[in-house]
Amino acid sequence: MAAEPPTFSVVVPTRGREASLARCLRALARLHYPRDLYEVIVVDDGSTTPPDSVVEEVASRMSVRAIRQAHRGPAAARNAGVRRAKGRYLAFTDDDCMPTPSWLRAFADCFADGDVSAVGGHTRNVLRGNPCSAASQDLVDYLYSHYNNGNRATFLTSNNLAVRADVLMRVGLFDESFPLPAGEDREFVARLVRQGYKAVYSPDAVVDHAHELGPRSFWRQHFRYGRGAFHFHRVNAESNGTRVRLERPRFYFELLRRPFDRADMDARLTAAALLGVSQIANAAGYFFEKATSALEDHQR
């Protein structure tokens, strides 16, 4: 007799993006997975208008419910969903993402290996005509290739992530002390791996990402990532009992070199320029947060 597929609870934090959430939920309703073996928990993080009508639209097609909290950020929203989840496995995505039909099946296949505690999937930018959105995904793709080697992963993002529920409860929830929605997912995966649990990357667990970015929002996003990176490195160093260590120059050289593998020269130059801007913004955010934290520590 074949083993019954595992049960999943899919947690989707959202705030004020009803149209994006609707696309996400429609995609989740189309999953090729037994309907009675997954539930979707939408956590509204203090939207002005609750997304009740969006949730009701798909309620007849899958098990879905919405809960509300005062605005506390996506880490707290994910944790609120986890506390109400019933599944043996927890899957996370964002409201601007659309999981492909085989998403949960790919996660389930990975968890068939009893040593695997967390799985991160492949995220695709679907806004191909938007160079800023494409560059942001280029950066994530590079980080995945840099940190995830062989059958082990250390860098996975929370818009395409699944974790064994029992392991998550032992490792601990997402760290809500991170001041911005940046870095808390990286810290969670680092903590899980540090405690001896195995994380892997699955290219078959695919999510389509539609995050519209312009020059200003691109800068703000990567400045925020830099601020989150400061807190990640500080927390990680304290946990490991080591000093904060940043990447070597070769890391940045390889990042900026990647676009030049493309055939289109204009696309190469645009992508390389935007990746360079992303790293300037990231560094600015990192040192801004470092100076701010030092001032706060001095004033205490």
Using one digit for the tens of pLDDT, what is the confidence trace for 91-144?
Answer: 999 999 999 999 999 999 999 999 999 999 999 999 989 999 999 999 999 999
Over the stretch 167-195, which tens digit does the pLDDT of each residue have? 999 999 999 987 677 889 999 999 999 99
Instruction: Cite the DSSP H helix spans in 65-102.
Output: 74-84
From the number of C-beta atoms within 10 Å of its C-beta (0-12, 13-18, 19+), residue 282 rates as buried
Return the CATH number of the domain spanning residue range 8-299.
3.90.550.10
What b-and-e string marks burial along 67-96, b requiring 16 or more CB atoms within 10 Å of the CB?
eebeeebbbbbbbbbbeebebebbbbbbbb
pLDDT class for 1, splitting at 50, 70, 90?
very low
What φ, ψ does residue 14 adopt, rounded to 5°? -150, 155
* pLDDT at residue 219 greater than cutoff 60: yes
Over the stretch 264-290, which tens digit does the pLDDT of each residue have? 777 889 999 999 999 999 999 999 999
11 pairs with which residues across the strands?
41, 92
Q: CB-based contacts of 218: which residues, under 8 Å, 6+ apart?
A: 132, 135, 136, 274, 277, 278, 281
Rounded-to-integer distance, Cα 25 and Cα 64, Å: 9
Q: How far, CA to CA in Å, does 133 sit from each of 8, 207, 246?
A: 30, 15, 25
State residue 266's pLDDT score. 74
Whether residue 56 contacts residue 72, with contact meaning beta carbons closer than 8 Å, is answered with no
- pTM > 0.85: yes
Looking at per-residue pLDDT, the higher value among 296 and 253 belongs to 253
